[in-house]
Amino acid sequence: MFDPINRRRFVARSLTAGAVAALGDFAFLNGLPAPAAEDKGQRKLVPLSSEIEPLVRLMEDTQRDQLMERIVAEVRKGTSYEQLLSAVFLAGVRGIQPRPVGFKFHAVLVINSAHLASLAAPDNDRWLPLFWAIDNFKSSQARNKVEGDWHMPPVDEAKLPPAHQAKQRFAEAMDNWDEEGADRAVAALARTAGANEVFEVFCRYGARDFRDIGHKAIYVANSYRTLQTIGWRHAEPVLRSLAYALLEHREKGNPAKQDLEADRPGREAAKRIAAMGSLDRATKNDPKAGAELLEVLRGNSWSDGAEKVVELCRRGTHPRCVWDGLFLTAGELLMRQPGIVGLHCCTTVNALHYAYQTTDNDETRRLMMLQAAAFLPMFRQAMTGRGKLADRKLDTLTAAEQPGDVEEIFHDVSKDRVAAARKTLRLLTSNPRAVQPLMTAARRLIFSKGNDSHDYKFSSAALEDFYNLTPPWRTRYAAASMFNLRGADDRNNQLIVKLRGALT
């Protein structure tokens, strides 16, 4: 898929990329310690396909400071991008506990985001996100070891339900928050059902409750998207991990037998789904609908937000115009309080919108819209517990008097995000074609400055969602994105140091 690594070309292009995209001048790695003996242990691990198991074990058992050198050697011997992508994803699925659904588990959650960044990057940059994800896996693996050294065990073959009962048994187990029953049923389901059928089931459970700040819906979307790339033959351990993650809850007792706030939007959605009517009849293009929904979500309850979606759909408003309001609200919340919760407003709406686009079930599409509208006020409420929200409104943000160029905007990102947002609004209003250089610079700065999974998760979601909005609102969403992208003056990460050492 991608060209083989050429050390001279890679280093030369990386170091001459230009002021904004420059990767920095780092010293080579020196004096690396000798590799430790392999940790064979007595782990009972879920088996993977024979063609990928050796590469997964290489990633699992090699010390972090030696791994990049080993991976580069594998690529030079012919290991492909797709094989590395498969291996790091499955290594995380097998060896990182998906609870809580976040934190160390970002080693898995970030894989699709890194892959999207690779696809959109210039040719000579495309290995960087994948190499970053491999290095990041080792960090999460170390944390998982400290927290109990969880590994996915083999499934008990004797206890699997028959194929014709797998789907029903899985739904029953998930509805009753039955971990053991769900694990058995999903293993059987993975062996008998097609990808689209399985995704349809999972996207509903991923959106049913507001726990783990949206990571459940994010995991559903990102795991399905990654499997679409690496192949459905790898699905079984992924789906077992996913089911286990979706059943995560921290309250005492069984959520199915309680009335908990996190579950109420999903439980109330059934009656609203019926009231919305078929989306096939919602064909009216209404550019004002996005601002109308934004105003409701800005200060009202989650129930009010869901009811507003029902109202707009009953008026015949095209779903794209409704999604405008959802994306704009997520962007505005990020502007009002940049940080961990604000960025997850954007990545969660991205995941729910992906499910909306991917399913062919009209009721599921309505559910994704309703849950997005309900979750955003719940995000806002969670943000109030972290401090005051700034008085910023995305729909009334004023453009800068002078647009500035792409380089100037990303220097401003490091010191004055409001100024960067206003200059972005001006630049893209006056020159819409500048969006591609803007996105290219944003991605390359993630490659060189990104130090956290959220840098990849957010940037891939935000840059993708620019095109999911209708044209009148795109420039404002791009402006809001400046509140969580990396700036030109941010500190460089250490990935290039490791790569330069490995490549020499």
**266 and 370 assigned to the same domain:** yes
- Determine, yes or no, domain membership for 42: no
Strand extents, DSSP E, 241-320: none
**310 and 339 assigned to the same domain:** yes
pLDDT tens for the chain, 504 residues long, are 455 555 455 444 443 344 444 433 323 323 323 223 333 334 578 999 999 999 999 999 999 999 999 999 999 999 999 999 999 999 999 999 999 999 999 999 999 999 999 999 888 788 999 999 999 999 999 999 999 999 999 999 999 999 999 999 999 999 999 999 999 999 999 999 999 999 999 999 999 999 999 999 999 999 999 999 999 999 999 999 999 999 999 999 999 999 999 999 999 998 999 999 999 999 999 999 999 999 999 999 999 999 999 999 999 999 999 999 999 999 999 999 999 999 999 999 999 999 999 999 999 999 999 999 999 999 999 999 999 999 999 999 999 998 789 999 999 999 999 999 999 999 999 999 999 999 999 999 999 999 899 999 999 999 999 999 999 999 999 999 999 999 999 998 888 777 777 776
Q: Which of 358, 127, 128 is nearest to 228 (CA)?
A: 358
**270 and 380 assigned to the same domain:** yes
Residue pLDDT, tens place only, 126-179: 899 999 999 999 999 999 999 999 999 999 999 999 999 999 999 999 999 999
- Determine, yes or no, domain membership for 161: yes
DSSP per residue, 61-123: HS-HHHHHHHHHHHHHTT--HHHHHHHHHHHHHHHS---SSSGGGHHHHTHHHHHHHHHHS-G
Total number of domains constituting the chain: 2
**276 and 368 assigned to the same domain:** yes
**219 and 272 assigned to the same domain:** no
**165 and 221 assigned to the same domain:** yes
- Determine, yes or no, domain membership for 322: yes
**243 and 337 assigned to the same domain:** no
Q: Which residues of 85-95 are buried (b: 16+ CB within 10 A; e: fewer)?
A: bbbbbbbbbbb
**173 and 194 assigned to the same domain:** yes
**201 and 290 assigned to the same domain:** no
**275 and 240 assigned to the same domain:** no
Q: What is the pTM of this model?
A: 0.92
Query: For residue 166, what are the domain limits?
Result: 157-251
**Polymer length of the chain:** 504
- Determine, yes or no, domain membership for 39: no
- Determine, yes or no, domain membership for 338: yes
**234 and 267 assigned to the same domain:** no
- Determine, yes or no, domain membership for 148: no
- Determine, yes or no, domain membership for 6: no
Domain endpoint, select from 224, 251, 278: 251
253 vs 241: CA distance, rounded Å: 22
Q: Which CATH number characterizes residue 235's domain?
A: 1.20.272
Asked if 249 and 174 count as a contact pair (C-beta separation under 8 A), the reply is: no
- Determine, yes or no, domain membership for 458: no
Domain endpoint, select from 340, 355, 384: 384
Q: Which two tokens stand for residue 35?
A: 């590799």
Domain endpoint, select from 350, 384, 418: 384
**319 and 218 assigned to the same domain:** no
